[in-house]
Amino acid sequence: MEERYLVIIEYAKGSDKGVDGFRADTKVIQKAIQHHAQCEGEIVFYTHKKRELLKDYILKQGEGKSLIVVSRINPGNLKRVDEYFYFLKQLSDAGAEVQTHPDVMINLNFKDILYKLKDSPFCDNTTEFYPNFEAFETHFPHRLIKEKKYVLKVNYGSTGEGVYLVELKEDGSIVSTEAVNNVKYYYHTMEEFLGTFEENFDDDIDESELHYFQGKSGFVGCRYLPRISEGEIRVLIINDQPMSVVHKKPKEGEFSATLFSGAHYQYDTPNDPKWKEVVKLTLNAFDAIKPYLQGKNFPLLWTMDYIMDYDEAGNDRYILSEINCSCVGITTQPQLAQEVGKVFQR
Ligand SMILES: Nc1ncnc2c1ncn2[C@@H]1O[C@H](COP(=O)(O)OP(=O)(O)O)[C@@H](O)[C@H]1O
Ligand SMILES: [Mg+2]
């Protein structure tokens, strides 16, 4: 049996670090993987400048062995995410088992997955995608006039940045609330709003220089779900096993359920009767998600986040609001590290 070797990739900066400078959950994950894969391993730091050298170093460390690479970088910390994903892809092409594979992160972590899956039973079938400002300017005003409240999500973003709740007032003015910190912006008219919003579509990027992010800009338009006031339901998944359900409740009267905005979190096991429905829905969703894995594994550690709604009969219904799979943490649930390790059991 071929010997294995584990390399965990981190980024030196960011607010997600423990006292030792690593992500607070990296070492328990490292220990668990090394235990279950019965191998040695190390943690390395990625920088854009040293990416070529680092790639050679990692491949050298794994020479003659079967190499496991686990990415533990929150892409929000990187300026050139596209280059980082390409770096991971090169490791994969060189034979490493990269978890989570960048193809999978691109497909699932970007918000346009909500548009791609819109006709699935766990999604909202009115979801729109505006790849450029022209499409936005053409379609968004109609939707806002019809809905009065509408949610815009930048295709690539996290922790509430670039997610806006847009509200059309009786007098035609517009209030936009950004989820990152519930900061509000005011506009007298639709024209003023559109004029300001245009800069969010960065058309000046030279797409030919991108490996991965071509055609990936734009915004997803989602129906506002008022039951966000009851919180967001996060199913935490390890590979293809739901492991816990986290109920995240926004601060009273607020829109954002991100931890930084002061939301309250409660953790339950997936067999809690309260969450039977949503766990079943998640397991059933895997079939719809599979084509987007492009033959790769499910993400190593990921979440499907839902907001409650009502169906036509007035029963509870869960609507997918996002998938996170680029760097989900388990700092508050370190016991799950063993389950992460087991994914690498032969
Ligand atoms: N359709 C929606 N209706 C109401 N609130 C929403 C909706 N989608 C997102 N939100 C709110 O915005 C926050 C951020 O959106 P989310 O899709 O989770 O993006 P991210 O976490 O990547 O910034 C959520 O935590 C939730 O509070
Ligand atoms: Mg979120």
Q: Concatenated DSSP letters for 88-144?
A: HHHHHHTT-EEES-HHHHHHHHSTTHHHHTTTSTTS-TT-EEESSHHHHHHHHHHHH
Domain boundaries, the chain: 4-99, 107-124+225-342, 128-222
Is CATH 3.30.470.20 the right assignment for the domain spanning 107-124+225-342?
Answer: yes
How many A from CA of 322 to the centre of ligand 2? 6
The CB of 255 under 6 Å from ligand 1? The reply is yes
**CB atoms inside a 10 Å sphere around CB 274:** 10
Question: Tokens at residue 321, please?
Answer: 């609001």
Q: Within 13 A of 70's CA, how many CA atoms are on the CB side?
A: 28
With vertex at residue 71, the alpha carbon angle to CA 79 and CA 209, rounded to the nearest 5 degrees, is: 40
- Residue 238 CA, ligand 1 centroid: distance in Å: 22
Tell me if 200 sits within 8 A of 219, measured CB to CB. Answer: yes
Predicted TM-score (pTM) of this structure = 0.94
Ligand 1 neighbour 307 (Cβ under 6 A): yes
95: left (phi over 0), alpha (psi -120 to 50) or beta: left
Say if ligand 1 is within 6 A of residue 178 CB: no
Ligand 1 proximity of 234 Cβ (cutoff 6 Å): no
Nearest ligand 1 atom, CA 162: 23
| Residue 155, helix vs strand vs coil | coil
Minimum-distance ligand 1 atom for the alpha carbon of 158 = 22
Cβ of 157 less than 6 Å from ligand 1: yes
Q: Which residue owns the Cα nearest ligand 1 atom 14? A: 160
pLDDT 10s digit of each residue in the chain, 346 long? Answer: 789 999 999 999 888 888 899 999 999 999 999 999 999 999 999 999 999 999 999 999 999 999 999 999 998 888 889 999 999 999 999 999 999 999 999 999 999 999 999 999 999 999 999 999 999 999 999 999 999 999 999 998 777 689 999 999 999 999 999 988 889 999 999 999 999 999 998 766 677 778 888 878 899 999 999 999 899 999 999 999 999 999 998 777 777 666 666 778 899 999 999 999 999 999 999 999 999 999 999 999 999 999 999 999 999 999 999 999 999 999 999 999 999 999 999 7
